[in-house]
Chain A
Amino acid sequence: MGILQNVKNAVRQRSIHVAYVDVGSCNGCDIEILACLAPRYDIEQYGIYVHNNPREADILLVIGAYTPGWADRLLPLWEKIPDPKVAIAIGNCPISGCLFARPGTLIHPPVAAHIPISAEVPGCPPRPTEILQAVLALAPEVFRDYEVRVL
C-alpha cells in the first residue's frame, strides 16, 4: 500500500459528508441531529459536514419510520449517493417503528428492508453524542483503503 493511499485514508477521515433524510419521524430525532450542528457538539470539528445533497454525501442518516410516501423515493435517493457510501438508522423509528409500531398505523419499518443500513443508533431520540460516535466509528471502516478493496 502506497504513501498516496495512506494520505487518502488520513484526509478522508477528516472529510465526511453527511446528508439526512426524514422518512416520517416525529421530529425528535431531527432536533437531535440539528443539535449536533450547534456549537455545543459542533460536528465540523470532527470533519463532518452536512450538505443535504445526496450527490455530495458519503453517509446518509435516515430518520423516521418509513411512511408509504417514501416507497418510490428513498431507494432512488440512496442510489444517487456515489460510492463509497453507508446509511445509518437514527432512532428507534427506522429500527422498529418505535411507538408508532401498532396495528393500523401506516408505517413500514424497518428501513433496513428498503435500503442497506450499516449501523443503527437506538434511542427515542438518541443523544447527539451517540449520533456522533456512530458516524465517527463507521466512517474509517467505510473509507479506509476503498480503492484497494473495491477497484
Chain B
Amino acid sequence: MMASSFLWYLVEFIRPSWVRKFFTVRTAPLLTPPYFRGFPEPTGKACTRALRCMMVCPAPGAIDVVKEADGWHPRIHRGHCIRCGLCVEACPNGVLSSGRVLESVTASGTALTLTFRIDVDTVSCMGCGNCAVACPVNRGLDPQMAYGGRASRDDLLLCVVEGKCKVVREDRCNGCKTCEDHCPNGAIRVDRVLQAVQAVSL
C-alpha cells in the first residue's frame, strides 16, 4: 500500500508534459518592436552637409559627416550614440531614420530649428585673432587671412577690430565651436540655441 502510493506520487510528478516543459520552456522570442529607436540608419536621401545632426547631437563623438566617393554621408559611432533620435529630427533632408521619429515629426508638423549665439568676453580677449583664423566659415570667405585676424573684407563672421575680437556676421555661424577650441583665454563662447517649433495647422 505504502509502496504503491509512493509510486503514484512519482508518476504524478514525472508527467511527460511537465518533464518536457521543465527542460524546454522559454519565454516568447523577445523581438525589438519596429517603433523602438535604434541607431539611426540612412534612408538613402542625399546629404547636403547642413551639419544640423552634428550640432544637435548631445553625445560627444557620436556623429560625423564624412565625404565619400558618392558625396557626404553621416556616420553614427556606436559606443558613443545614445539613440536619442535628435539628429533624425533635426536633419532638414530626412537623411537618417530611427524608429518612428520621421513619421511622428511629419504627423505633428514639428521641426527643430538651431541658431547660434557668439559671446566674446572683451576683458579676457587679447585680440590674437586665433578664433578668426581658425573659423572654417572665415577661411572659406577669406583664405588669405593670417596671424592677427586682419580682414581683407568686411563681411566675415569674426575679425579683430582695435585689439578685440568682434562678431560681425553672427548669422553665418555654423555652430562648430572651432573658435572655442583655439582661443587661448577661453574668451569666446558659442551657444547652440535649439528650438522646437510646431507649424499651426488649420
**CB neighbors of B among A60-105 (8 A):** 92, 95-99, 101-102
Residue B117 lies at the interface, judged by CB distance under 8 Å to chain A: no
Contact check, A98 vs B59: say whether CB atoms are below 8 A apart: yes
Chain A residues with CB under 8 A of B67: none
Chain A positions 90 through 124: 1 when the CB is less than 8 Å from some CB of chain B, otherwise 0 = 00100111110110000000000000000010111
Chain A residues with CB under 8 A of B61: 96, 101
Query: Chain B: interface secondary structure?
Result: loop
The answer to whether A92 and B79 touch (CB under 8 A), given A99-B58, A124-B59, A129-B32, is yes
Contact check, B60 vs A124: say whether CB atoms are below 8 A apart: no
Q: Which residue of B lies closest to A129 (CB)?
A: B30
Q: How large is the interface on B (under 10, 10 to 19, 20 to 34, 35 or more residues)?
A: 10 to 19
The answer to whether A96 and B25 touch (CB under 8 A), given A41-B30, A101-B60, A129-B30, is no
Q: How far is the CA of A121 from the CA of B46 in the complex (A)?
A: 30
Chain B residues with CB under 8 A of A145: none
**CB neighbors of A among B12-57 (8 A):** 25-27, 30, 32, 36, 39
Chain B residues with CB under 8 A of A95: 79-80
Chain A positions 113 through 151: 1 when the CB is less than 8 Å from some CB of chain B, otherwise 0 = 000000010111001110010000000000000000000
Nearest first, the 4 closest Cβ-Cβ pairs linking A and B are A124-B82, A95-B79, A122-B78, A122-B79
Instruction: Please list the residues of chain A having a beta carbon within 8 angstroms of any beta carbon in chain B.
Output: 40-42, 45, 92, 95-99, 101-102, 120, 122-124, 127-129, 132
A sample of 9 inter-chain contacts (CB < 8 A) reads A41-B27, A92-B82, A96-B61, A98-B82, A101-B60, A101-B61, A122-B39, A124-B59, A127-B36
